Chain A
């Protein structure tokens, strides 16, 4: 029977071959995307693991330890990772990615860092890494081809004094990011993209099912048993899926390099990071054909194939309201979390992650019920024939109507949560606006023992073109009753940061002269301090604040001067927007990934819908063609198709985005006390583009509608 099934597929004439090719092509696209998603997840994991490996823990072993200190520096708002290393003996391990450990006065730079060093004057960047460049850091240690990384050699004594210096005896066992974080990322990607891909593959294998079922009925007439029919159906679906999967692998490897260069996470991947594990390969190579065979069996169960023809089984049982429970439960957990926030990040993950997953599962589960209720209401009041037909069809089998759009719902929910959270965080903690006082302020903070500053520091700083002032903030000894932690002589306060209270000589000020989460203001009045002016020079220095004109050259030259003056800094001299800018860039990378998911899932959803539309048309070609013969304009039928597919899709998109933004708001309230900031217009534009792509795919079925419902259908059937 298997051989017979194969013969039917391969030598069953033009129609059979066309069907095979169409299904194989659809499966090829689906499995190609599936492979890209899996490889993308692996690439993200590799990126995160390499990032984590730049922060190794102390390790014990037989080898001589290597002193290691990782610090973060900035240049034009981009983060530079600086690693200082010093071997303590000849057996000390060599950092991954370079041929030998650099000695004092030597350094290695990543390719992007070398380009940056070559492109800018030494006093802005290169002077921070004095000595001889020994070469380029290889990809084995870089999270991304665009990563800015410098490995600087030093003496053991010098590196040991650096903050958070570690003694490392081996590499390769660095712990990656916390598992929950990785799980969350994988969950987001899986939920957002894998689901629509799987739905699409499942739908594609049911292409032209009605035509196939008629052929099966003819086979039953000549004596084939239901079991034999099941085998033939499985063979047909599997053959197309095997061919499609093989092409999908070809597509994936053909486009892998191009895909890797797209900065989905804000940084491009190395092509080799977009790799597939054995499990991934087996999952797709065996899972897709096996899934196709199962889908074929399931679709056969929905119809009764008798020797006299094919009849749809009775209307499926209507979905019940209990399907709403998980979604309501998920929202309830988020509401609860606003009042009761777990104190640890692990506890928070334990609350938020299940809540989001509950809502996601709840949306998929509740979808058919919502579709049914909406369709019934529509059917009750529909006055136009197209609305009536479409609403009745959706109300009859809401599960089938919802199946093709469930992927869209999930993808849009996940991405709306992500975009809502990201937009709000960026709005609250984004970089300082260009031209503001903050954007021109470079400061260095000394949380612990203040190293002695060179005598010439302030002269050097004031000599930098664009520097307006350089001020020292000292530690306030009155830690118990002080309003602000720093002290400054009233005469030293730059006018852009405010002034002293009337009659005061020393003022209490914020560490960087700008209170937390506030902006610099010349109108600010700093409270008087009880410390006499004469005692001020004896107090430890807390920070140095340099006010510049905000030009990139002035900021970076100031930063370089400060770094050279305080080579053991922990957090590099920074502009208030530096961390935020880098953080915002990372978040924007995730936002970009969310946008890719939106467009891909909507386009895939459109393809799934198109397949459903074709199936629905084929099932109803005779009544539809007879309706046309009776004078029903073809636009009525077009409207039926549009209402059956586009309206639920648009409704689902609106619900998913609404629910996603609500979940994001609840998450932000509970976690950060932020109120949701509406996503930027770009988000809506992307959603609209995605929806347009989806509608375009649906519209592509319209010529088929006209063809299959033409007068010849009525004559020939």
Chain B
């Protein structure tokens, strides 16, 4: 398989505090990679650098061979909007919008017409077992339901890479596993690459491979048999 996303010797510091010290990692197309590590190890910073949210102080980020770190803010925003998807730990749904509108949001942001975006978003409700919740607001959803809606939102635009930052961090273990089943299933079905940041080995076990981030370094990758 070909490498779709790669960090080469990336360094990043928050002021005087170094977060990444020469981190390198490569992700294959369609691969599910778990990035693990203790709190403050730099795993979220690595995800943000890979996603073009943060620009490394040194080193390179390559997506499909293009230097992400050399792109302008506008280009990186377009990249995130058009090619990447995101699922965060909590609080990502816009409270005013209904669940289905929240899912349709990435499509609307890329200029898809409402008449096309909403049916496409609705299809994900059946797929993720959310039927009947389309018109609910975020405040009217349980944590698990909200996270599944967020997952649908992350995948609806069929991104090449899905970044999931502690996607089950705010859920109980059973609900978390259910969300992970759906995430992995949908990603495999679409051939989406997933970069999953977690500190739970149980969640990391869903990945094809896991890497450890410790003190800003990425440890040698271990292949997990799929």
Seen from chain A, the residues whose Cβ lies within 8 Å of a Cβ on chain B are 311-312, 314-315, 381-385, 388-389, 392-393, 396, 619-620, 622-624, 626-633, 636, 711, 714-715, 717
B92 sits at the interface (CB 8 A)? yes
Residue in B54, B86, B97 whose beta carbon sits within 8 Å of that of A389 in the complex? B97
A631 and B94 within 8 A (CB): no
A632 and B109 within 8 A (CB): yes
Complex interface: chain A residues within 8 A of B18 (CB): none
Interface 9-residue window, one of B64-72, B100-108, B119-127, B215-223: B100-108
Residue in A312, A315, A388, A628 whose beta carbon sits within 8 Å of that of B97 in the complex? A388
Complex interface: chain B residues within 8 A of A717 (CB): 91
Also in contact, A384 and B86, with CB within 8 A (given A392-B97, A623-B91, A623-B92): no
How many contacting A-B pairs (Cβ < 8 A)? 79
Seen from chain B, the residues whose Cβ lies within 8 Å of a Cβ on chain A are 44, 48, 51, 53-54, 74, 77-82, 84-86, 88, 91-98, 101, 105-106, 108-109, 113-114, 137, 139
B77 and A633 within 8 A (CB): yes
Residue in B81, B88, B108, B113 whose beta carbon sits within 8 Å of that of A631 in the complex? B81
Closest to A714 in B: B88
- Bound complex: CA of A381 vs CA of B84, how far in Å? 27
Which 9 A-B residue pairs are closest in the complex by CB-CB distance?
A: A631-B81, A631-B80, A392-B96, A622-B91, A383-B114, A393-B96, A385-B108, A626-B92, A630-B86
Complex interface: chain B residues within 8 A of A629 (CB): 48, 51, 53, 80, 86
Cβ distance A712 to chain B, nearest Cβ, rounded Å? 9
Also in contact, A711 and B53, with CB within 8 A (given A631-B84, A633-B77): yes
- Bound complex: CA of A315 vs CA of B96, how far in Å? 10
- Bound complex: CA of A310 vs CA of B48, how far in Å? 28
Output the residue of A315, A620, A626, A628 with the most chain B CB within 10 A. Answer: A626
- Bound complex: CA of A244 vs CA of B73, how far in Å? 42
Complex interface: chain A residues within 8 A of B92 (CB): 622-623, 626-627
Cβ distance B84 to chain A, nearest Cβ, rounded Å? 7
Cβ distance A584 to chain B, nearest Cβ, rounded Å? 51
List 30 A-B pairs, Cβ < 8 Å. A311-B139, A312-B95, A314-B139, A385-B105, A388-B101, A392-B101, A393-B96, A396-B96, A620-B95, A622-B91, A623-B91, A623-B92, A626-B86, A626-B88, A626-B91, A626-B92, A627-B92, A627-B105, A630-B84, A630-B85, A631-B78, A631-B79, A631-B80, A631-B81, A631-B82, A632-B77, A632-B81, A633-B77, A633-B81, A711-B53
Closest to A633 in B: B77
A711 and B96 within 8 A (CB): no
Closest to A634 in B: B77
B93 and A623 within 8 A (CB): yes
- Bound complex: CA of A715 vs CA of B84, how far in Å? 19
Cβ distance B150 to chain A, nearest Cβ, rounded Å? 9
- Bound complex: CA of A419 vs CA of B101, how far in Å? 45
Cβ distance A457 to chain B, nearest Cβ, rounded Å? 82
Complex interface: chain B residues within 8 A of A622 (CB): 91-92
Residue in A381, A393, A630, A711 whose beta carbon sits within 8 Å of that of B81 in the complex? A630
- Bound complex: CA of A629 vs CA of B108, how far in Å? 16
Closest to B105 in A: A385
Cβ distance B154 to chain A, nearest Cβ, rounded Å? 8
Closest to A624 in B: B94
Cβ distance A394 to chain B, nearest Cβ, rounded Å? 9
Residue in B95, B97, B108 whose beta carbon sits within 8 Å of that of A384 in the complex? B108
- Bound complex: CA of A627 vs CA of B93, how far in Å? 9
Complex interface: chain A residues within 8 A of B48 (CB): 629, 711, 715
Complex interface: chain A residues within 8 A of B96 (CB): 389, 392-393, 396
Cβ distance B15 to chain A, nearest Cβ, rounded Å? 12
- Bound complex: CA of A388 vs CA of B44, how far in Å? 31
Complex interface: chain B residues within 8 A of A630 (CB): 80-81, 84-86, 106
- Bound complex: CA of A629 vs CA of B150, how far in Å? 14
Cβ distance A192 to chain B, nearest Cβ, rounded Å? 33
Knowing that A385-B108, A388-B97 are A-B contacts, what are 13 other residue pairs whose CB atoms are under 8 Å apart, sorted by A's residue number? A311-B139, A312-B139, A384-B108, A392-B101, A393-B96, A623-B93, A623-B95, A624-B94, A629-B51, A630-B81, A630-B86, A631-B78, A715-B44
- Bound complex: CA of A385 vs CA of B101, how far in Å? 9
Residue in B77, B81, B94, B109 whose beta carbon sits within 8 Å of that of A623 in the complex? B94
Complex interface: chain A residues within 8 A of B114 (CB): 381-383, 388
- Bound complex: CA of A605 vs CA of B53, how far in Å? 37
Cβ distance A566 to chain B, nearest Cβ, rounded Å? 76
Complex interface: chain A residues within 8 A of B51 (CB): 629
Complex interface: chain B residues within 8 A of A314 (CB): 139
Closest to A382 in B: B114
B94 and A389 within 8 A (CB): yes
Complex interface: chain B residues within 8 A of A624 (CB): 94
Complex interface: chain B residues within 8 A of A620 (CB): 94-95
- Bound complex: CA of A623 vs CA of B89, how far in Å? 12
Closest to B83 in A: A631
Closest to B86 in A: A630
B91 and A631 within 8 A (CB): no
- Bound complex: CA of A196 vs CA of B106, how far in Å? 39
B109 and A631 within 8 A (CB): yes
Cβ distance B92 to chain A, nearest Cβ, rounded Å? 4
Also in contact, A636 and B139, with CB within 8 A (given A396-B96, A623-B95, A631-B77): no
Cβ distance A309 to chain B, nearest Cβ, rounded Å? 11
Complex interface: chain A residues within 8 A of B113 (CB): 383
Complex interface: chain A residues within 8 A of B139 (CB): 311-312, 314
- Bound complex: CA of A291 vs CA of B84, how far in Å? 50
Complex interface: chain A residues within 8 A of B79 (CB): 631
- Bound complex: CA of A583 vs CA of B159, how far in Å? 72
Closest to A391 in B: B96
Complex interface: chain B residues within 8 A of A312 (CB): 95, 139
Complex interface: chain A residues within 8 A of B81 (CB): 630-633
Cβ distance A529 to chain B, nearest Cβ, rounded Å? 80
Complex interface: chain B residues within 8 A of A633 (CB): 74, 77, 81
Complex interface: chain A residues within 8 A of B97 (CB): 388-389, 392
Closest to B52 in A: A631
Complex interface: chain B residues within 8 A of A626 (CB): 86, 88, 91-92
Complex interface: chain A residues within 8 A of B106 (CB): 630
Cβ distance A710 to chain B, nearest Cβ, rounded Å? 10
Cβ distance B140 to chain A, nearest Cβ, rounded Å? 9
- Bound complex: CA of A388 vs CA of B94, how far in Å? 11
Cβ distance A619 to chain B, nearest Cβ, rounded Å? 8
Output the residue of B77, B81, B96, B97 with the most chain A CB within 10 A. Answer: B96
Cβ distance B199 to chain A, nearest Cβ, rounded Å? 16
- Bound complex: CA of A220 vs CA of B166, how far in Å? 28
- Bound complex: CA of A620 vs CA of B97, how far in Å? 12
Cβ distance A594 to chain B, nearest Cβ, rounded Å? 37
Cβ distance B182 to chain A, nearest Cβ, rounded Å? 19
Complex interface: chain A residues within 8 A of B78 (CB): 631
Cβ distance A5 to chain B, nearest Cβ, rounded Å? 29
Complex interface: chain A residues within 8 A of B88 (CB): 626, 714
A388 and B95 within 8 A (CB): no
Complex interface: chain B residues within 8 A of A388 (CB): 97, 101, 108, 114
- Bound complex: CA of A382 vs CA of B137, how far in Å? 18
Cβ distance A542 to chain B, nearest Cβ, rounded Å? 75
Closest to B114 in A: A383
Closest to A715 in B: B44
- Bound complex: CA of A415 vs CA of B172, how far in Å? 60
Closest to B150 in A: A626
Closest to A388 in B: B101
- Bound complex: CA of A345 vs CA of B157, how far in Å? 70
Complex interface: chain A residues within 8 A of B80 (CB): 629-631
Complex interface: chain B residues within 8 A of A392 (CB): 96-98, 101
A627 and B82 within 8 A (CB): no
Closest to A396 in B: B96
Residue in A311, A619, A636, A714 whose beta carbon sits within 8 Å of that of B109 in the complex? A636
- Bound complex: CA of A385 vs CA of B121, how far in Å? 14
